[in-house]
Structure 1
Amino acid sequence: MKSFIRSSVTLGLVGSSVMIYSLLNSSLSVLALTPEQIVQKLNQVPVFTIGNSKEILLSTDNNKKTFVTYLSHQDAQQVVEQITKENPGSKAEVITIPLGKVYELLKSKEKSKSQEPPDLFTFIPLKKELPSALSILKQEDPSAKNFPGIPLFYGMIKVDEQETFLSIKDGKKSFTPFYFERESLQKLIDNIKLQQPKFASSIEVKVTPLGGIVSAFESDDKQQEDFVKSVVLVPSQESAKKLLETFKQNQQTE
């Protein structure tokens, strides 16, 4: 848990120099990672669920028990407050877990085909990001009514007529970030406008579902391995702040 907290806080608050990452035939559909690497990347993202000191509390609807995962701590806290109001003895609380752990539970469920709960897994996105995500999606699909899943924002840029992903450089390492918040991506773009103004007019904000990125990670194509390893899922500022608070609390109790 401590390494998870440290990594997520670092990535969520990273302030690095900007670089352009060139990628021939760049496509989200040709990436590949091992299962362990997938979990490691997803573990950089804190998510929230509801539980008590003994177990995760599953939502029940139509005789189906659902593991509900929230991208927003505030949304999860509001559910806890409602549960406590209706059932004061429930001792419900918000539990922070790595997204990779939820992924492992889901995959384990699929593999075993167990009839034990949970029956379903539901992810609640950051609601404030949905209008922006839908607006970007409509540029490519005007008939879209809703955004399908958890939106991730990323940047694309044209360099010598070649489309490439925006990346950041931190020391000797480079990362290609996909953000859960458009605002965080906009800060990167604003930084580019200051450092490399000639590229500013060609930058485009794009959006893709988290599920699509995970499917890309699971692809068996190894040709883009270097690029895949550079992909970083950047938590929202709220999540990064929450993790920092948790990390400080853990240090105080040691």
Structure 2
Amino acid sequence: MKLLVRLGAILGIVGCTLLGPSPIANMSALALPEPQILEKLRSVPVFTITDAAGAPLIASVPKQGQGQSGNASVAGIFISQKDAQAFVDQLKTKNPQLAASVRVTPVSLGEIYQISQANKGKPDEVVFAYVPTPQQVQLAKTVLQQTGQQVNEFNGVPLFLARGGPENGYLTIQRGQQEVIPLFFNKEELQGMVERFKQQQPNVTATIKIEVVNLESVLEALRTENDPFLSQLILVPSRESLEFVRSLQPAGASNQNKPPASNQNRSAPQAPAPSQTRPAR
């Protein structure tokens, strides 16, 4: 199995306009056909450890669960390139020969999802284990604790979103012709968007709250549930991830994949930011 790097698809993220809280139903039901799921995931870069041919580094670990026996083949999928590189650096100490033959490879989350679904249940199935950024896990625990929950662990990769306003709706942005709900991998970047929104609409400042869900449950809901609300969700990668992927672009190709230019000078893709204030629909 090889993982293909499609940098153009990952960098094809358009600029967005901040709107405001949208009175949408609870997040308990989400769904889309697989082609639309892949479209949502393909612009999210994740990072894995591969050999020179692009085959992922696989660990054999005991299967878990009642009635399970034998070992499972597991490949780590890192949300942060820096965490993936730190793993390789540790490997240089523990197994220098293996470390010399592997590298950190960016790949689309959409491709990981597609491979996972295609191989599910097969004898040679490789299980992809998502590795969250420790700092974001700690921030996720803090968010839950601030709501009064007793939290010692946060399972999975955290995704942060905001809600508020008179109807406690989700904070939305305008992406092209569609109003969407952003889920951020990086809480600080969501916080920056929230602060800009508060400056534009100070009357709802006190009502804005940040919530957290995990990536794994969102992916499962996308696959199994059925609700139009799903079509409004987008995943917003961290600036760090996008900047790393952009640094790999050939000089001539980088201009072809840049988001539409704004009046501000910027050297890397930006998270959704307000360009004007619009009322929520």
Q: Shorter chain as normaliser: what TM range?
A: 0.7 to 0.9
User: In the alignment, which residue of structure 1 is the partner of 2:233?
Assistant: 231
1:87 to 82, 89, 96: 96
Bigger proportion of residues as helix: 1
- Which string of whole-angstrom CA distances, capped at 9 and with x for unpartnered residues, describes residues 143-197 of structure 1? 32101211000001132xx121001124533221000011110111111111111
User: In the alignment, which residue of structure 1 is the partner of 2:83?
Assistant: 75
2:143 to 127, 130, 136: 136
User: In the alignment, which residue of structure 2 is the partner of 1:181?
Assistant: 186
Aligned-residue CA RMSD (Å): 2.3
Name the CA distance, whole Å, in 2 between partners of 1:220 and 1:173: 21
The alignment's TM-score, normalised by the length of structure 2, stands at: 0.77
- Which string of whole-angstrom CA distances, capped at 9 and with x for unpartnered residues, describes residues 34-70 of structure 1? 0111122111211000011222111234554311100
Structure 1 segment 1-254 matched on structure 2, within 5 A = 1-7=6-12, 10=13, 14=15, 16-24=16-24, 26-54=25-53, 55-62=55-62, 63-85=71-93, 86-88=95-97, 90-110=100-120, 113-118=121-126, 120-140=127-147, 142-159=149-166, 162-170=167-175, 172-222=177-227, 225=228, 227-248=229-250, 251=253
- Residue 83 of structure 1 deviates from its aligned partner by 2.9
Name the CA distance, whole Å, in 1 between partners of 2:209 and 2:143: 10
Name the CA distance, whole Å, in 2 between partners of 1:186 and 1:32: 27
SS at match of 1:29: coil
Name the CA distance, whole Å, in 2 between partners of 1:249 and 1:116: 39
Q: Which stretch of the first structure deviates more once superposed, 179-188 or 76-85? A: 76-85
Name the CA distance, whole Å, in 1 between partners of 2:137 and 2:7: 31
Q: In the comparison of the two structures, how many residue pairs are matched?
A: 239
Gaps of 5+ in 2: 1-5, 63-70, 255-281
Name the CA distance, whole Å, in 2 between partners of 1:213 and 1:117: 22
Task: Tell whether the 8 Å contact from 1:179 to 1:236 is kept in structure 2 after alignment.
Answer: yes
- Residue 137 of structure 1 deviates from its aligned partner by 1.6
Name the CA distance, whole Å, in 1 between partners of 2:194 and 2:112: 31
Query: Between the two proteins, what is the percent identity of the paired residues?
Result: 26
Give the direction of change, closer, same or farther, for the CA distance of 1:175–1:126 in structure 2 (3 Å limit): same
SS at match of 1:51: strand
- Residue 117 of structure 1 deviates from its aligned partner by 4.7
Give 2:244's aligned amino acid.
K
Ranges of 4+ aligned residues in structure 1 off by more than 6 Å? none
